[in-house]
């Protein structure tokens, strides 16, 4: 039974294969809040409070929900990568989506007085052209570090273990193909770490006396190419396979055939292939975290890759923290814009409203109250507003300008009351994120996709060009 006075720890990404292994290690030692975005997962798993593990449904795209989830905790793990919101339409790059949820997590942790954030990110190869995926991992690391004095980042390349995407892709390729074409990227080197070693390192990071703040590279017991991993997988599975070198296969074609053979999604396969365009070895920018497990751990991880993870007995979530609103029919749109020097989020929001009224003056007019708290958008010739936005003063600051979508003909009447437009400043990236979140359109989906959705993308593209031009002028 868990001590009720034990420290409380939050794990974002608890339902992933690394998160589940971490739960096994920490079970019974701490009070653990395991975050999941799935309402079903949070309410249907069996109750067993002796483990001290409680699942909590939390939408990390919501700052308010994230603040509630982290309140009262002493430490937090952030292991969420390339997360897609539960929305019917998502506009934006995965790196921008990740940046927003990382900013929410960082803000919430600072508000809750979290003493240590532990982040599982990606290797940063020394002196190499890194992929967009690895660059995004570094952005998230820098953002989380900006508000936490005792921040620790573990940087890993391939993590191999039961239930892991890399292991599953390896096993499926070898199982389903008698002959495997091996492009040049399969010769790139990596130093894979086992799931067990990764979990050990994550647990060790909880103790500040053992692991000081900073970034650490995780390195396994050997350096090996992806092709050699496939050959070893064939040996483990007891099958004979022909491996055919073929240098001329471009990465995009590799992405297509790997997806076709394994059935894995583009979101899983693309980061893997992009990352392996360079050697995924620890660089000189961070010390190497010592991992001394035997090589058999690596081969066992491959052999067990198709086995389902063990389900832990867990506690039910606090219903007061869970959201019953179905956002599967919502719209999420996030764009990264250049931030003019010293502009606050409010500056960007005011400029956007003024610019929009000029840019769409033939079709649109904007009315606002004297204090600009309420903005109403009207289609010319109509008296009923298309959208009504309310500026939320108490939830806004220099780095965040928040508007709730209160009404209008384009907003569905039963829409999420938290539907919002916000502008978020990201200091380290010298950027501002423009985000529409939890919005439910009133237009029928086919009509919405061909009209309002397209119009929003065009408007944001033009506004991004405007801010970039202003930034260039200010730099002269």
pLDDT at 315 over 60: no
Query: What integer pLDDT is reported at residue 89 of this predicted model?
Result: 84
Co-location of 26 and 125 in the same domain: yes
pLDDT at 436 over 80: yes
Whole-model pTM: value is 0.87
The torsion angles phi and psi of 425, rounded to 5 degrees, stand at -85, 130
Mean pLDDT value of segment 328-355: 91
Query: How sure is the predictor about 207, in pLDDT bands with cuts at 50, 70 and 90?
Result: confident
Co-location of 238 and 346 in the same domain: no
Model pLDDT for residues 34-85, shown as the tens digit of each residue: 998 765 444 434 444 456 888 888 999 999 999 999 999 999 999 987 656 6
Query: What integer pLDDT is reported at residue 440 of this predicted model?
Result: 93
Considering the domain boundaries, does residue 3 fall inside one?
A: no
Co-location of 285 and 386 in the same domain: no
pLDDT at 434 over 60: yes
Query: What integer pLDDT is reported at residue 213 of this predicted model?
Result: 87
Co-location of 289 and 370 in the same domain: no
Beta bridge partners of 376: 367, 388
Considering the domain boundaries, does residue 2 fall inside one?
A: no
Model pLDDT for residues 126-160, shown as the tens digit of each residue: 766 777 888 888 999 999 999 988 999 998 888 88
Q: How far apart are CA 422 and CA 403, in angstroms?
A: 6
Mean pLDDT value of segment 187-212: 86
Among 90-99, 257-266, 399-408, 448-457, name the one with the lowest average pLDDT.
257-266
pLDDT, averaged across the chain: 81
How many domains does one find in the chain?
2
CATH of the domain at 100: 3.40.50.720
CATH of the domain at 433: 3.30.530.20
Query: How sure is the predictor about 223, in pLDDT bands with cuts at 50, 70 and 90?
Result: confident
- Domain hosting 380: range is 331-475
Query: What integer pLDDT is reported at residue 171 of this predicted model?
Result: 81
Q: How far apart are CA 333 and CA 416, in angstroms?
A: 15
Mean pLDDT value of segment 415-433: 88
Mean pLDDT value of segment 425-453: 91
Query: How sure is the predictor about 234, in pLDDT bands with cuts at 50, 70 and 90?
Result: confident
Query: What integer pLDDT is reported at residue 372 of this predicted model?
Result: 77
């Amino acid at each position: 039974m868990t001590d009720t006075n034990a420290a409380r720890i939050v794990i974002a990404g608890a339902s992933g294969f690394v998160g589940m292994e971490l739960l096994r290690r920490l079970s019974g030692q701490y009070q653990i809040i395991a975050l999941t975005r799935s309402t079903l997962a949070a309410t249907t798993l069996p109750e067993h409070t002796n483990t001290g593990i409680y699942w909590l449904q939390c939408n990390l795209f919501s700052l308010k929900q994230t603040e509630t989830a982290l309140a009262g905790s002493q430490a937090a793990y952030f292991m969420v990568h390339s997360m897609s919101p539960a929305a019917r339409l998502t506009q934006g790059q995965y790196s921008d989506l990740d940046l927003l949820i990382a900013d929410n997590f960082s803000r919430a942790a600072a508000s809750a007085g979290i003493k240590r954030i532990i982040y599982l990110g990606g290797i940063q190869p020394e002196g190499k052209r890194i992929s967009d995926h690895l660059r995004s991992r570094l952005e998230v690391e820098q953002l989380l570090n900006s508000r936490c004095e005792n921040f620790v980042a573990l940087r890993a390349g391939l993590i191999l273990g039961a239930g892991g995407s890399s292991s599953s892709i390896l096993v499926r390729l070898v199982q389903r193909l008698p002959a495997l074409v091996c492009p040049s990227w399969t010769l790139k080197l990596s130093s894979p770490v086992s799931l067990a070693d990764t979990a050990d390192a994550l647990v060790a990071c909880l103790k500040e006396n053992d692991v000081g703040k900073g970034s650490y590279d995780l390195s396994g017991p050997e350096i090996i190419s992806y092709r050699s991993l496939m050959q070893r997988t064939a040996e483990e599975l007891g099958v004979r396979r022909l491996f055919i070198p073929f240098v001329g296969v471009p990465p995009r074609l590799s992405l297509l055939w790997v997806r076709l053979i394994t059935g894995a999604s583009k979101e899983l396969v693309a980061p893997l292939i992009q990352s392996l365009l360079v050697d995924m070895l620890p660089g000189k920018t961070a010390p190497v975290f010592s991992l001394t497990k035997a090589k058999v751990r690596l081969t066992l991880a491959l052999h067990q890759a198709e086995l389902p993870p063990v389900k832990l007995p867990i506690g039910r979530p606090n219903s007061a923290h869970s959201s019953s609103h179905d956002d599967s029919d919502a719209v999420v749109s996030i764009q990264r814009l250049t931030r003019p020097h010293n502009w606050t989020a409010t500056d960007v929001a005011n400029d956007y409203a003024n610019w929009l009224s000029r840019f769409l003056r033939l079709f649109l007019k904007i009315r606002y109250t004297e204090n600009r708290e309420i903005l109403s958008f009207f289609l010319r010739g109509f008296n009923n507003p298309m959208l009504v936005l309310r500026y939320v003063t108490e939830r806004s600051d220099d780095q965040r300008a928040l508007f709730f979508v209160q009404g209008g003909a384009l907003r569905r009447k039963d829409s999420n009351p938290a539907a919002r437009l916000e502008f978020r400043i990201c200091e380290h990236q010298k950027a501002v994120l423009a985000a529409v979140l939890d919005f439910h359109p009133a237009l029928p989906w086919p009509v919405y996709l061909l009209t309002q959705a397209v119009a929003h993308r065009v408007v944001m593209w033009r506004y991004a060009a405007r801010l970039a031009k202003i930034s260039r002028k200010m730099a002269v």
